[in-house]
Amino acid sequence: MIKQLLLIISGFVLGQGSMFAAQTYLVFLHEMEVISIIGIGVGLLSLLQWASDGGGVFLLSKQYAEPDFLEKFSSFLIARIIIGGSFCFLFVLGAITIELNAQIISMLGVGWVVVVLWSLNITGILDRVKKNQIAGPMSGLSWLFSAIAVACFYKNMNLGVIVALAYSFGLLVTVVIQWWVAVKAGLILNFERPSFKKVIEQLKLIALYNAAFIAAQGYARLIPILVDRLVSAEISGIFIYAKNVANMVSQVILFSRRVEFSGLVDFTQSKKFSLIGVLLRQKYSLVLSIMAAFFSLLFVVFIHYFDFNVYYNVAIASSCMVCLVVGWVIVSSYGQVLLAVERTKEYALVVVIGVAVGLLVLGFFLEDYGLLAVYGAEILMYLIQGGLYLFIVKRLLKGGVIAASAHNV
């Protein structure tokens, strides 16, 4: 499991690690406006990418063993393009309506390329058959190429389009490599003519998954815009950089979850199921988050000790955001149980409720309390989501959906 996880993480380090390096370079150049533009723009492109994935990382992994997989797979690809295309249209329309920076709008204009390319990805299948030795490390190419574009063309008037095209080219190379690996491994992934019923079924699964995913990830991408409008551009720049640090940690956790998910699916059908066991089955995610929080606090001490005051506010904000990841890991561990038993509707509802509460808190307190309101909103959101997840899991346990005895809880 550890080897598989390292292979997946290597792609992230290659990709988003390079983007973080490019943004750090811009920090030293005091190009905070460029950081804001790229942070928001690439963040929305990545959100569009994962909306086009439609939960395939988990759903295709689970469906791969089913007898009618090929028909489901073909239906899933069609459903992905429909869902991704819809999101692309809404993103562009929303960006124009709220008058985002023209560079960001131009980046989203290339979003349809992202939708088509990533709808063809087979990441979940390669994870399931443990064939990500090559595809895993290459998964970060979109971020690598866009990071190079940022560093080379940050003063260019067409920076947005250049970065978006670089991001898309990275996805193209990644998808080609994935299918090459599948062919070499002898995987049968023929496109079968799907029935209308199967497409609708897959559309519902993707829509439910995306309702939760887009709500959670969209929340994170909406905050920088709110901070910029209600507080200040400087604080927005600090938050974007701090959030990028936390995103690097949370993305590693998501990769860890991919490795742990198959075991969690089996655990939900085990008579040994227990609530504490859910955390133990996802121990790598928890340990990684705690380690990240510890080192972030250590970095704050380092900054303070050597009196690097110019970076102190960035370090504090980054550490706070990373520490909050620990809470997210604990709470979302029980959300993974709902995904494992395909209770995507309940999962989506919990996430949406939590996000709605968080936005409500920000609406009342962001302008007066700045980033403190952001931290408070996230803590409250996790508490509410955690309580709801536990309630639903216990209800499914009693109903026999999760194969366990009540005394194991």
Residue 348 to residue 345: CA distance in whole angstroms: 5
In-domain check, residue 205: no
Q: What per-residue confidence (pLDDT) applies to 261?
A: 82
Per-residue pLDDT tens for 113-171?
999 999 999 888 887 777 766 666 667 889 899 999 999 999 999 999 999 999 999 99
In the chain, the amino acid numbered 29 is L
Residue with tokens 């370079």: 25
Residues 189 and 215 in one domain: no
Instruction: Kindly give the residue spans of alpha helices, DSSP state H, lying in 185-310.
Output: 196-230, 233-268, 275-280, 283-305
Residues 131 and 173 in one domain: yes
In-domain check, residue 201: no
Residue 61 to residue 45: CA distance in whole angstroms: 24
Smallest CA-to-CA distance from 241 within 26, 4, 18 is with: 26
In-domain check, residue 408: no
Per-residue pLDDT tens for 30-72?
787 788 888 888 988 999 998 999 888 778 877 877 777 788 8
What Å distances lie between residue 216 and 1, 174, 289, 348, 385, CA to CA? 27, 25, 18, 10, 11
Residue 339 to residue 59: CA distance in whole angstroms: 9
- 337: Cβ–Cβ under 8 A, 6 or more apart, which residues? 264, 268, 278, 389, 393, 402
Using an 8 Å Cβ cutoff, are 336 and 264 in contact?
A: yes
**Quick one: CA dihedral 211, 320, 380, 236, positive or negative?**
negative
Start-to-end CA distance of the chain, whole Å, equals 26
In-domain check, residue 292: yes
Residues 284 and 232 in one domain: yes
**Quick one: CA dihedral 85, 89, 94, 99, positive or negative?**
positive
| Residue 137 token pair | 């490390």
Residues 103 and 225 in one domain: no
**CA 130 from chain center: how many Å?**
21
Domain final position from 194, 225, 243: 194
- 351: Cβ–Cβ under 8 A, 6 or more apart, which residues? 211, 212, 213, 215, 216, 335, 385
Residue 324 to residue 399: CA distance in whole angstroms: 33
In-domain check, residue 203: no
Per-residue pLDDT tens for 291-350?
999 999 999 998 877 767 667 888 899 999 999 999 999 999 999 888 888 787 888 889
Task: Give the residue, 216 or 90, on which the prediction is more confident.
Answer: 90
Smallest CA-to-CA distance from 39 within 195, 192, 246 is with: 246
In-domain check, residue 372: yes
Residues 395 and 288 in one domain: yes
Number of domains into which the chain is organized: 2
In the chain, the amino acid numbered 386 is G
In-domain check, residue 206: no
Residues 143 and 54 in one domain: yes
Residue 288 to residue 292: CA distance in whole angstroms: 6
Residue 197 to residue 304: CA distance in whole angstroms: 61
Side-chain half-sphere of 155: how many Cα atoms within 13 Å? 2
Domain final position from 151, 166, 194: 194
Domain final position from 194, 224, 241: 194
In-domain check, residue 200: no
Residues 32 and 80 in one domain: yes
Residues 138 and 97 in one domain: yes
Residue 331 to residue 391: CA distance in whole angstroms: 12
Residues 220 and 188 in one domain: no
The predicted model gives 192-220 an average pLDDT of: 83
Arithmetic mean of pLDDT over the chain: 85
Smallest CA-to-CA distance from 169 within 133, 144, 135 is with: 144
Q: What per-residue confidence (pLDDT) applies to 409?
A: 46
Residues 167 and 225 in one domain: no
Q: What per-residue confidence (pLDDT) applies to 169?
A: 96
Residues 159 and 24 in one domain: yes
Residues 339 and 287 in one domain: yes
Smallest CA-to-CA distance from 109 within 44, 59, 27 is with: 44
Structure pTM? Answer: 0.75
pLDDT-based confidence at 27, cuts 50/70/90?
confident
Nearest-Å Rg of the Cα atoms of the chain is 21
Supply the range of the domain harboring residue 99.
1-194
Residue 119 to residue 224: CA distance in whole angstroms: 28
Task: Return phi, psi of residue 39, to 5°.
Answer: -60, -45
> What letter does residue 193 receive in the DSSP assignment?
-
